[in-house]
Amino acid sequence: MTTQTQKLPLVGLTRSELQEAMALAGVPDRQARMRASQVWSWIYHHGITDFAEMTTIAKDLRARMAQVFSLERPEIITALKSTDGTRKWLLRLPKDEFGKQHDVEVVYIPEADRGTLCISSQVGCTLACTFCHTGTQTLVRNLTAGEIVAQILVARDEVKEWPSQLAQNPNAPASGRFITNVVLMGMGEPLYNFDGVKTAIEIATDPEGIALSKRRTTLSTSGVVPEIARAGDEIGTMLAISLHATTDEVRDVLVPLNKKYPITELLEACRNYPGLSNARRITFEYVMLKGINDSPQDAIRLVKLLKNIPAKVNLIPFNPWPGTDYECSDWETIEVFAEIVNKAGYASPVRTPRGRDIFAACGQLKSESKRLTGKEKRAHNVALEITTS
């Protein structure tokens, strides 16, 4: 008998792969395109996980599909909700081809005008940025396109965003979406999983399915320079760069990849990012680390570095994790820094931190079992997030 894990998972196949797969369920070639299109809509527009519910398809074909295909979702092993509405899920992926099971985390941040979903592209990371908890975990493997898309599907299940769920919700948003934005800012370096990320974004932005807007989808990279232009051409999302420092000396330590692709080369790749304009700016992420990268001189250098690049700056308060030597900059220091960036022509709305009580940041969930000290907890509470645009 075929077991669940031996069935072909459909989530993560491109449209043409899905069409080819139809033959496995005995669909004749001439019908494959139409059937694939129906199945696509059931999976990605309606969120169906049971072939029996695909009512536009004949019963016997539904039964054959259920025998050979799987729509299994990753299992939610932890679900957390912050007092501010931020939600976080730890997902256990179905066993992979090596029989291994891995967990990934997904964070949903609701705001007045948007809902942002933060997803992962790898299990662990190879890049070992010194302030990042994920960097302390070795890379286990790239996530497949299906595993990346599944994070969005599970989040849609949980926030109840499928059409049948929205229809029953008198408070459903007029846009029909709770998740308006997706950011690849969870675990891993998306440009080291180029193909998986590319296919996942292609699926998630398909207009007949999840239909996310590419302008509301952001890929964050620590600076894999040779892949940046290709990402613009072939993936076409918005780009965020984890800059975090204004000199190579400091960035070499914070983001060791800088030794390979230093700041000048990185910013040159940014200037050449396909589709860049004032309406499509690059976001520069800058984590505020006490005494490391947060001086007024850093702010002045930052403004100079970004000259002539359509840019937004995202000042991220450092989110401490057990065992780290870094501390988040003081509030006043962040204000001075923001003010300099501000005066250089960037508006800077100040945002309060989100989900600090559930450790909603890169690589944080798995560290939760190790208790934070009182000092670390206080640091969570004083931290803030500033976005300049």
Least distance (Å) from ligand SAH to the CB of residue 287? 4
Q: How many CA atoms lie within 13 A of 123 on its CB side?
A: 17
The only residue of 144, 319, 329, 348 in contact with ligand SAH, by rule CB under 6 A: 319
From the list 36, 48, 185, 245, which residue makes contact with ligand SAH (rule: CB under 6 A)?
Answer: 185
362 is catalytic: yes
Residue 293 binding target from ligand SF4, ligand SAH, none, CB below 5 to 8 Å by type: none
Residues 6+ apart with CB under 8 A from 376: 320, 322
Separation between Cα atoms, residue 46 and residue 173, nearest integer Å: 17
Among the listed ranges 95-103, 205-213, 217-225, 345-353, the one in contact with ligand SAH (CB under 6 A) is 217-225
CB 217 within 8 A of CB 181: yes
The one catalytic residue in 53, 105, 111, 339 is 105
291 CB-contact burial (10 Å; exposed 0-12 / middle 13-18 / buried 19+): exposed
Per rule CB under 6 A, is residue 109 in the interface with ligand SAH? no
> How crowded is residue 206: how many other Cβ atoms within 10 Å of its Cβ?
16
Indicate the residue among 70 and 120 with the shorter CB distance to ligand SF4.
Answer: 120
List binders of ligand SF4 among 304-363 (CB under 6 A): 362
Per the CB < 8 A criterion, the answer to whether 75 and 91 are in contact is: yes
CB of 139 to ligand SF4, least distance (A): 9
283 contributes a contact to ligand SF4 by CB under 6 A: no
Phi-psi region of 339 (alpha: psi -120 to 50; beta: other; left: phi over 0): alpha
Minimum Å distance from CB 175 to ligand SAH? Answer: 26
For the segment 203-222, give every residue that binds ligand SF4 (CB under 6 A): 222
What amino acid is encoded at 284 in this protein?
Answer: F
CB of 120 to ligand SF4, least distance (A): 9
**Which of the residues 118, 132, 328, 362 is marked catalytic?**
362
What SS3 state is found at 263?
helix
DSSP state of 295: S
11 binds, among ligand SF4, ligand SAH, none (CB under 5 to 8 A by kind): none
334 neighbors 288 (Cβ within 8 angstroms) = yes
Report which of 125, 180, 182 is spatially closest to residue 148, judged by C-alpha positions: 182
What is the distance between the alpha carbons of residues 169 and 87, in angstroms, rounded to a whole number? 19
CB nearer to ligand SF4: give 18 or 118.
118
Nearest partner of 184 among 218, 151, 212, 150, judged by Cα: 218
Separation of CA 149 from chain center? 10
Query: What is the nearest approach in angstroms of ligand SF4 to the Cβ of residue 127?
Result: 4
138: left (phi over 0), alpha (psi -120 to 50) or beta: beta
Nearer to ligand SAH, 205 or 319 (CB): 319
Least distance in Å: CB of 323 to ligand SAH? Answer: 11
Least separation in angstroms between CB 261 and ligand SAH? 13
Cross-strand partners of 316: 287
**How many whole angstroms separate alpha carbon 75 and alpha carbon 215?**
30
By CB under 6 A, name the one of 39, 203, 212, 362 that touches ligand SAH.
Answer: 362
Three-class SS state of 279: coil
Q: Which of 103, 189, 294, 298 binds ligand SF4 (CB under 6 A)?
A: 189
Question: Which CB, 144 or 222, lies closer to ligand SAH?
Answer: 222
In the list 147, 189, 294, 298, the residue contacting ligand SAH (rule: CB under 6 A) is: 189
Closest contact distance (angstroms) between CB of 382 and ligand SAH is: 14
Residue 105 known to be catalytic: yes
Nearest partner of 275 among 231, 244, 334, judged by Cα: 231
- SS in 3 state form for 152-173? HHHHHHHHCCCHHHHHCCCCCC
105 makes contact with ligand SF4 (CB under 6 A): no
Among the listed ranges 23-31, 73-81, 174-182, 313-321, the one in contact with ligand SAH (CB under 6 A) is 313-321
Helices (H), 181-281: 194-204, 225-230, 248-254, 263-271
Among residues 19, 82, 116, 134, which is the contact residue for ligand SF4, using CB under 6 A? 134
Binding site for ligand SF4 (CB under 6 A): 125, 127-129, 132, 134-135, 187-189, 222, 242, 362
Catalytic residues: 105, 362
Binding site for ligand SAH (CB under 6 A): 131-133, 185, 188-189, 220-222, 242, 285, 287, 316, 318-319, 321, 361-362
